[in-house]
């Protein structure tokens, strides 16, 4: 039987780095509302919910997903 390399979403390791919204905003120099608007529009990675949303769960972004998104952004020509 042939093994396939399949990436399973939400598979994290101890080395996975999670970023908060303020860390994302500070890193990219964008507002909180911009972060969530981009997520809603499908233009930014979705956060991982830690805890139950109905019990004030918190959002965290996977650093590698944000880095991948950033690397795929078009570069401005000068």
Closest CA to 28 of 76, 67, 58, 54: 67
Give the separation between CA 20 and CA 22, rounded to whole angstroms. Answer: 5
**pLDDT per residue of the chain (78 residues) written in tens, 0 to 9:** 444 444 445 678 999 999 999 999 999 999 999 999 999 999 999 999 988 777 778 999 999 999 999 999 988 887
* Partner residues linked to 48 by β-bridges: 60
pTM, full prediction: 0.77
Give the separation between CA 22 and CA 30, rounded to whole angstroms. Answer: 9
Three-class secondary structure of residue 48 per DSSP: strand
Three-class secondary structure of residue 21 per DSSP: helix
């Amino acid at each position: 039987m042939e093994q396939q390399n399949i990436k399973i979403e939400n598979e994290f390791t101890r080395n996975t780095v999670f970023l908060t919204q303020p860390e994302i905003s500070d890193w990219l120099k964008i507002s909180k509302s911009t972060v969530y608007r981009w997520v809603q529009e499908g233009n930014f990675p979705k956060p991982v919910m830690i805890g139950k949303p109905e019990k004030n769960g918190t959002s965290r972004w996977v650093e590698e997903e944000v880095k991948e998104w950033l690397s795929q952004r078009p570069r401005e020509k000068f």
